[in-house]
Amino acid sequence: MRRWALFFPLIMLLLGCASTPSAPSPTPTLAATAVPPTPSSSPTATQSAAATQSAAAPERIWQRPFGAGLKGPAAFAAGRVFVATDTAVFALDPTTGDTLWEVALEGGVWSRSLAANETAVIVGSPGQMVALNPADGAILWQLPLVGDLLWAPLLADGMVFAGTAFVGPGVTPNPDGNAWVYAVEIASGELAWSWETTVYTLTTPASNGSQLFVGGSFLNPASDVEEGGFLRLHAFAQQTGELQWQTERQDGFIKSLAADANTLVLLAYTDMVYGLDGRSGQVRWEYPTENWSPGFSWQNGVLYFGSDNAFVHAVDGGTGTAVWRTQLEGIFNAPRAELTLDDTTAYFQGNDNQLYALNLTNGELLWQTAPQPRSRVPLTFGDGRLLLVDQEGTLSTFQMPDFH
């Protein structure tokens, strides 16, 4: 029990403190506030990939306060902005921030569990997963769960792939609890398959189209490991749920997973990125993050991440070799969260609270802004806008000047 008592606070520290969802109560609808453009700060001279900005920075066009119940990033889909608080899900007009619809769920909402696409808005609520219509917020379906959906599921190939947990932000820890992974048709809510993992999943699953990879941590009372801890990875046949392999490692809490046809990429509590063989789980390559990293983002076979030694990295996911490495000005000035990617650019907030954009091809600095409200979660990009949820629960939206 002593180890469990130490283990749970560590998870709180890694994820940021969160409270249990509150029961829905009447909430005043707060209007979005238009704000004047945010001036850009002067470009720094110590960027390793570029010495000057090569593009104009975005301007903040509106902000909307939701309060402490908003803990996760916004989602953008179907031409709308979606946010989830502890009590409700909101759809917002991306141009003005005005409410298009609001749905309160009985028992509350796990605010970090939000995911959305053109078909549905998915959230976790205590004991269930709920799908809402993006157009009007109508409930499409509800699915009872064992454990709770605390983290955003993967929406891919017409399916929802979700892992549950029995310990995490806002949950009373249950050392004897059992968690599951679920594969659900997103349009109908029909359960395709499920599997008991017994680990807690606080990371979005990864897919390469034919395999689904799910990971989570677990407590081993017989072990005296003090740093890191135990995690278990599962590889399933995505269509049928057949378990292909599983492996256990002592890398601690999982931060990020991604996969292509050959490789599963893992970053956990230890300061190392691993490329695992997707067919066996054996390690193919290792890449040191050089310092603490909040997690990576993945696109076209390359992973992008920041580390607290003030570097941003691009690494080839097939070989584990560096593509580029860009230094930011300032001690410990690293991305606050995973990078947000579009087709050409990586966006993030630095530890200096400025927003940055780097060229995905070479790491060149494109622009940076003046300091913005401090956030703990990734930015969201959609329709030429960047969305920032700060640690006070206010959503700010920035318009790209060159977006058409």
Tell me the average pLDDT across 108-132.
98
Tell me the average pLDDT across 31-59.
52
Q: Please give the Cα distance from 375 to 377 (Å, whole number).
A: 6
Q: Please give the Cα distance from 381 to 366 (Å, whole number).
A: 16
Query: What percent of the chain stands above pLDDT 70?
Result: 84
Q: Please give the Cα distance from 56 to 53 (Å, whole number).
A: 8
Query: What percent of the chain stands above pLDDT 90?
Result: 75
Written as one letter, the residue type at 180 is: W
Q: How far is CA 281 from CA 52, 168, 223, 233, 319, in A?
A: 43, 26, 22, 8, 15
Whole-number pLDDT of residue 227? 55
Tell me the average pLDDT across 278-306.
97
In degrees and rounded to multiples of 5, residue 57 shows phi and psi of: -80, 155
Give the residues across from 89 on adjacent strands: 84, 103
Whole-number pLDDT of residue 37? 35
Structural contact between residues 290 and 278, judged by C-beta atoms closer than 8 angstroms: no
Structural contact between residues 21 and 107, judged by C-beta atoms closer than 8 angstroms: yes
Lowest mean pLDDT among 1-5, 42-46, 144-148: 42-46
Whole-number pLDDT of residue 199? 87
Grouping H, G, I as helix, E, B as strand and the rest as coil, residue 213 is: strand
- Residues with Cβ < 8 Å from 264, sequence gap 6 or more? 206, 213, 233, 235, 257, 258, 275, 276, 277, 278, 281
Grouping H, G, I as helix, E, B as strand and the rest as coil, residue 15 is: helix
Q: Is the pLDDT of residue 42 over 60?
A: no
pTM score above 0.95: no
Give the residues across from 268 on adjacent strands: 254
Structural contact between residues 231 and 249, judged by C-beta atoms closer than 8 angstroms: yes
Residue with more model confidence, 226 or 357: 357
pLDDT tens sequence across 176-216:
777 899 999 999 999 999 999 888 888 999 999 999 999 99
Provide the pLDDT confidence category of residue 124 given band limits of 50, 70 and 90: very high
Tell me the average pLDDT across 10-29.
48
Torsion angle of C-alpha atoms 145, 147, 151, 154, degrees rounded to 10: -40
In degrees and rounded to multiples of 5, residue 120 shows phi and psi of: -155, 155
Whole-number pLDDT of residue 335? 96
Grouping H, G, I as helix, E, B as strand and the rest as coil, residue 314 is: strand
Place of tokens 């009590």: 87
Q: Is the pLDDT of residue 13 over 60?
A: no
Query: What is the maximal distance between C-alpha atoms in the chain?
Result: 59
Q: Is the pLDDT of residue 225 over 80?
A: no
Six token digits for residue 310: 């003030």
Tell me the average pLDDT across 87-104.
98
Give the residues across from 183 on adjacent strands: 161, 193
Tell me the average pLDDT across 132-138.
99
**Taking Cα atoms as reference points, which of 100, 102, 93, 97 lies closest to residue 60?**
97
Give the residues across from 92 on adjacent strands: 81, 99
**Domains by residue range for the chain, with CATH:** 35-65+299-404 (2.40.128.630)
- Mean of the per-residue pLDDT values for the chain? 88
Tell me the average pLDDT across 233-244.
98
